[in-house]
Structure 1
Amino acid sequence: MTMIKGYRRPDGKVGIRNHLLLLPTVVCANQVVNRIQQQTPGSVAIPHQHGCSQVGNDKEQTHKVLVGMGKNPNVGAVLVVSLGCEVMNAEQIRDEIAETGKPVVWIDIQDEGGSVNTIKKGIEVADELYQQISSLPVEDIPLSEIAVGVKCGGSDTTSGLCSNPALGKTSDLIIKNGGSIIMGETTEIIGAEHILAKKAVNKQVSQKLYSAIERFEKEIKRMGVDMRGGNPSPGNIEGGLSSIEEKSLGCISKAGTAPLQGVFEYADPVPGKGFYFMDSPGNDIECVSGMAAAGVQVVCFTTGRGTPTGNPIVPVIKISGNELAAKKMADNIDIDTSPVLQGEETLEQAGERIFKEIVNVASGEETKAEILGHQEFSISRIGISL
């Protein structure tokens, strides 16, 4: 059994990081949270542009993502900061996160008497929370406790030929060890959804996958726009990808050969063990943020063109099959799988290297995105602002 190092949370879940999360409920609280974060070593913040002027499903999605980020097992404690008049219910957010048993405190800018007082209070509270979690023991944990998100972005021809299928070999190893693989990007399985649907464990799962595609295509038609030019993106096209179908065929190989156990909504909790698909945008940061809110502890991100983005609470491992991009962006790329294209390595060997990197990162080794401080976070928006 493959073991990693992690933190066992009060609800029994396992984190591979021990973050103190500073969570603004609304865009109006971002600056206060940023100032608290600057004065609190060991903390991470998730500033965002949402939290007010939202109703219905859009409001619920923002709430779900914020709660999910707080519940992620990589988070040891949470400080919630609200303004006091937004549509987000800060008290409810605090209480739902607290269901995990981790320490959660809520402060409000209007109640505290403005930004300066709230920053002062927030620094004091954040320091207390950090002291509570800084001495938590690291335990030996079976890899079966891990959910891995698989994502691609800035793709080129090497993505489908090399890095994505190599990651697919890794996905098979993760599932063989009892873990979970979560793939997203509804927009990037179009044209290959029938292949993915054939892997579904039953007709209900395959129909749910087709329904996710249908919803997206209806929305594009309602808007009266052509998806081409946005997906494949100009960078994808310059990298040699001629169509969305060609891109999708490479994209789906990241998940390996395991049966598709289920399809779930953006930022909903990971349903179980094995391979699952999350209905989500293809946008890199929105997709990874949704995976983090769903509870994945680590993301493997393939890229041919190269991208530096990370996540505030989830380590993101960057993998490239493009030798030139891997060398040019060496400070961003963790794994270079181009030896496969040069005949110096098999896909299985590259997959084993990625697997070992996951084990190392899950045991505390920092990814390059973490070292460089890449903490990008974005919530996918559904509707208009009021």
Structure 2
Amino acid sequence: MEILGYLRPDGSVGIRNHILVIPTSVCASTLAANIANQIPEAVALPNQHGCCQIGADHLQTIRTLIGFGKNPNVAAVLVVGLGCEGIPIRETAAEVAATGKPVEVLVIQEVGGTLKAETEGLRKISSLVRQVSHLQPEKVDISRLSLAIECGGSDFTSGLASNPAVGIAADLLVAAGGSVMLSETTEFIGAEHVLARRAKTPEVAEKLFKIVHDCEERAKFLNVDIRDGQPTPGNIAGGISSIEEKSLGCIYKAGHAPIEDVLQYGEAPQGKGLYIMDTPGQDIESITGMLAGGATIVIFTTGRGTPTGSPIAPVIKITANQKTFVMMEDNMDVDASPIITGKETIEEVGRRIFLEIIAVANGRRTKAESLGYREFGIYKIAPTY
């Protein structure tokens, strides 16, 4: 089976062709947005971090920004820095440039302020546009697709219908040789032993248990019960009674394939198949991590409804709540409620979702894309100093 994709110099394949503007600190974010807003092909990351971070938190922000630049959906990158931030500006650009894609650097303090920097930035980004304007999508095998799966605003229909249907679609992609990422460590709690049975090796199972244990320990360190935030008030209003029930519903999204490995936040998988990524339960931070890890398309199930999108990847919204599909029709892409009403089986809807993935990979715009929703947030794991 084939899809249309953009072949990158490093051999990866994207399904979109963005020019990405990466601000290396919050101080450069407004300028980055001003530059991108003047170029139809460009999009800027609203990065709120980049300075006064230390240790693993500092490294994670660097890894995430570089991962977005390396993502196959990105054709070229303009890195914009202030000049005194903690994120190494030119080193970040060099890591992205190692993929072979065109990269330019702009430093505000070096060119004499934001007005001069904006002029110079427009010159640089227009050059990038010209360098990649010839690129056209080509037929590639569907195995080149990398899928991120997410859930948010869940209700009772999520675990019963939409998540199991997504699991069928995930299985179909893995069977076709593709890659799938499941995230949200918070939503493995109480179900980690079920998920671990599918680990490819005992070492992978141990990695899974460790990220769940560490997640709970971080909450204990703050002298709080993680169950104060999970399930969320919306989850509870939607009929989810406990974090264990939410977790058992969440893991359905991963289908039945063996788990190849457990990845740190923003880490790229080293092969094909199903991977687990250690992310928070917060939807946008979770999606950001998987896209930094190279995912090129996102499936997002929701019972109560959410408009969330992404700066660089299409996000397909799925709900099995018929009321939500009607009330938020402008935001929902796939109606999985026929499972609840008995008109379709989980397998039938799963195959319908798989066909939607193929259509979006081939250029169909999701509703989040068409409305311009581009949420982005990096998971912080330490205070800012």
What band does the TM-score fall into relative to the shorter chain?
over 0.9
Aligned to 2:86: 87
Counterparts of 1:106-185 in structure 2, within 5 Å, are 106-185=105-184
Aligned to 2:104: 105
Aligned to 1:370: 369
**Percent of pairs with identical residues:** 51
Deviations 1:301-330 (A, max 9, x none): 000010001110011100000000011000
Q: Distance in 2 between matches of 1:134 and 1:366?
A: 20
More off after superposition, 269-278 vs 59-68: 269-278
Asked if structure 1 preserves the Cα contact closer than 8 Å seen for 2:22 and 2:45, the reply is yes
Q: Distance in 2 between matches of 1:365 and 1:130?
A: 22
Asked if structure 2 preserves the Cα contact closer than 8 Å seen for 1:304 and 1:325, the reply is yes
Aligned to 2:277: 278
TM-score with structure 2 setting the length:
0.99
Aligned to 2:244: 245
Task: Report how far residue 34 of structure 1 moved.
Answer: 1.1
Task: Report how far residue 228 of structure 1 moved.
Answer: 2.0
Asked if structure 2 preserves the Cα contact closer than 8 Å seen for 1:270 and 1:296, the reply is no
Task: Report how far residue 205 of structure 1 moved.
Answer: 0.5
Aligned to 1:186: 185
Q: Distance in 1 between matches of 2:64 and 2:368?
A: 22
Q: Distance in 2 between matches of 1:117 and 1:241?
A: 53
Deviations 1:200-253 (A, max 9, x none): 111101000000011111111110012223110000000000000000011000
Deviations 1:320-346 (A, max 9, x none): 000000110001000010001111001
Listed as ranges, the gaps of 5+ residues in structure 2 are none
2:316 maps to 1:303? no
Asked if structure 2 preserves the Cα contact closer than 8 Å seen for 1:24 and 1:82, the reply is yes
Aligned to 2:220: 221
Listed as ranges, the gaps of 5+ residues in structure 1 are none
Q: Distance in 1 between matches of 2:38 and 2:171?
A: 43
Aligned to 1:383: 382
Q: Distance in 1 between matches of 2:29 and 2:146?
A: 29
Q: Distance in 1 between matches of 2:21 and 2:200?
A: 39
Deviations 1:23-57 (A, max 9, x none): 00000001111110111111011011100011111
Amino acid aligned to 1:257 = H
Amino acid aligned to 1:266 = Y
Counterparts of 1:193-342 in structure 2, within 5 Å, are 193-342=192-341
Residue 228 of structure 1 aligns to a residue whose secondary structure is helix
Asked if structure 2 preserves the Cα contact closer than 8 Å seen for 1:23 and 1:79, the reply is yes
Asked if structure 1 preserves the Cα contact closer than 8 Å seen for 2:33 and 2:43, the reply is no
Residue 344 of structure 2 aligns to a residue whose secondary structure is coil
Asked if structure 1 preserves the Cα contact closer than 8 Å seen for 2:216 and 2:226, the reply is no
Asked if structure 2 preserves the Cα contact closer than 8 Å seen for 1:26 and 1:50, the reply is yes
